């Protein structure tokens, strides 16, 4: 892997660029165009999922970009209906075929009560052993289930991709990831665009000659959190990538941290599980 001088997180021998490009809700044409554009701008980390119905387009965008495949970190996810052993392996093969390349990271999209974690984690490890992905991980697992899953997994679960932005803190998940030798990836890092109207973020943005989006993404990566913003616009993809030439002070980081109000924008957690209690 050659990511230039971009900051990364290292989990075991897996190096993940801290800034990625998300593709949820991108129709295939937009996904292909924007993935190619994002890679040309300099992004080296792309996030998709089977359920986004754009894996084929994401693969095409990667090839259109001209960026060598080995210089890109590519994530996709196993949908919840495919958590039984055979179904998981079948989807892992299908995703690799649609992408036209083996993903670097394969995540379980949301935790489920059935089949058992043991069956699903066993199958996910088999997918890795069969070369259907380079590494494995989770998405939307509360801390308790994150620990249970790791205890059942032979291979390290290299990330837990969860909703995280200035209005939703995830302190306990960050601590859990640290204890498990894993990492946290923030989905909806821009709170789906809500950060543009925030007075505190606007003030910090003005002080640095940056935009609200740039300050928010900078805050995340400065905390060592992987962020995967999404946009349909080339100008915004460029804007969101331009965050490596400034730094927030510790006081500014604390002001960003203080915006947490426990606001969740997307909640599809199985009612059998509970999110971590809000941190004091």
Ligand X SMILES: NC(=O)c1ccc[n+]([C@@H]2O[C@H](COP(=O)([O-])OP(=O)(O)OC[C@H]3O[C@@H](n4cnc5c(N)ncnc54)[C@H](OP(=O)(O)O)[C@@H]3O)[C@@H](O)[C@H]2O)c1
Which of 228, 243, 248, 259 lies at the binding interface for ligand X (CB under 6 A)? 228
Which of 74, 159, 188, 218 lies at the binding interface for ligand X (CB under 6 A)? 188
User: Does 187 engage in binding with ligand X (CB under 6 A)?
Assistant: yes
In the bound complex, what is the minimum distance in angstroms from residue 97's beta carbon to ligand X?
Answer: 20
List the beta bridge partners of residue 160. Answer: 138, 184
Cβ atoms of 47 and 21 within 8 Å: the answer is yes
- As a whole number of angstroms, the distance between CA 270 and CA 280 comes to 25
Which of 137, 189, 210, 241 lies at the binding interface for ligand X (CB under 6 A)? 189
Which of 240, 241, 248, 259 lies at the binding interface for ligand X (CB under 6 A)? 240
Alpha helices in the chain (DSSP H): 28-41, 55-65, 85-99, 117-129, 143-152, 171-180, 199-208, 212-222, 234-241, 250-257
Cα–Cα separations (whole angstroms), residue 118 to 145, 192, 229: 12, 34, 32
Which of 1, 15, 24, 155 lies at the binding interface for ligand X (CB under 6 A)? 24
In the bound complex, what is the minimum distance in angstroms from residue 10's beta carbon to ligand X?
Answer: 22
Rounded to whole angstroms, the maximal C-alpha distance in the chain is 54
User: Does 193 engage in binding with ligand X (CB under 6 A)?
Assistant: yes
Closest CA to 182 of 219, 228, 224: 224
Cβ atoms of 211 and 181 within 8 Å: the answer is no
Smaller CB distance to ligand X: residue 29 or 130? 29
Determine whether 167 is an active site residue: no
User: Does 183 engage in binding with ligand X (CB under 6 A)?
Assistant: no
User: Does 44 engage in binding with ligand X (CB under 6 A)?
Assistant: no
In the bound complex, what is the minimum distance in angstroms from residue 136's beta carbon to ligand X?
Answer: 14
- The alpha carbon of residue 180 and the mean position of all alpha carbons in its chain are separated, in whole angstroms, by 18
Q: Within 93-152, which residues bind ligand X (CB under 6 A)?
A: 109, 139-140
Closest CA to 253 of 227, 216, 278: 216
Pairing of strands 135-139, 184-187: unpaired
Smaller CB distance to ligand X: residue 96 or 195? 195
Q: Within 158-177, which residues bind ligand X (CB under 6 A)?
A: 161
- Residues 3, 43, 52, 167: which is the catalytic one? 52
Q: How many CB atoms lie within 10 A of CB 124?
A: 30
Q: Which of these segments, 5-13, 20-28, 92-100, 151-159, binds ligand X (CB under 6 A)?
A: 20-28
Binding region for ligand X (CB under 6 A): 22-24, 47, 109, 139-140, 161, 187-193, 196, 211, 213, 228-233, 236, 239-240, 266
The catalytic residues are 52
């Amino acid at each position: 892997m050659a990511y230039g001088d971009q900051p990364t997180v290292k989990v075991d021998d897996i190096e993940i660029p801290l800034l990625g490009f998300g593709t949820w809700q991108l129709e295939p044409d937009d996904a292909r165009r924007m993935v190619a554009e994002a890679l040309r701008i300099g992004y080296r980390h792309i996030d998709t999922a089977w359920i986004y119905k754009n894996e084929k387009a994401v693969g095409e965008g990667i090839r259109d970009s001209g960026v060598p495949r080995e210089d890109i970190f590519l994530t996709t996810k196993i949908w919840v209906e495919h958590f039984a052993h055979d179904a998981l392996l079948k989807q892992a093969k299908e995703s690799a075929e649609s992408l036209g390349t083996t993903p670097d990271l394969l995540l379980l999209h949301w935790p489920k009560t059935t089949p058992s974690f043991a069956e699903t984690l066993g199958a996910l490890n088999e997918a890795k052993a069969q070369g259907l992905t380079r590494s494995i991980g989770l998405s939307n697992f509360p801390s308790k289930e994150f620990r249970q899953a790791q205890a059942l997994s032979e291979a390290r679960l290299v990330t837990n991709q969860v909703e995280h932005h200035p209005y939703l803190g995830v302190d306990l998940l960050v601590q859990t990831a640290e204890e498990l030798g894993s990492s946290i990836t923030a989905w909806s890092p821009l709170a789906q665009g809500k950060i543009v109207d925030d007075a505190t973020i606007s003030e910090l943005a003005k002080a640095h000659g940056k935009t609200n989006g740039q300050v928010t993404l900078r805050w995340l990566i400065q905390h060592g959190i992987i962020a995967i913003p999404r946009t349909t616009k080339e100008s915004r993809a460029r804007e969101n990538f331009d965050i490596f030439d400034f730094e927030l002070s510790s006081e500014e980081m604390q002001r960003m941290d203080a915006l947490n109000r426990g606001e969740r924008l997307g909640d599809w957690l199985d009612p059998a599980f509970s999110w971590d209690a809000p941190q004091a």
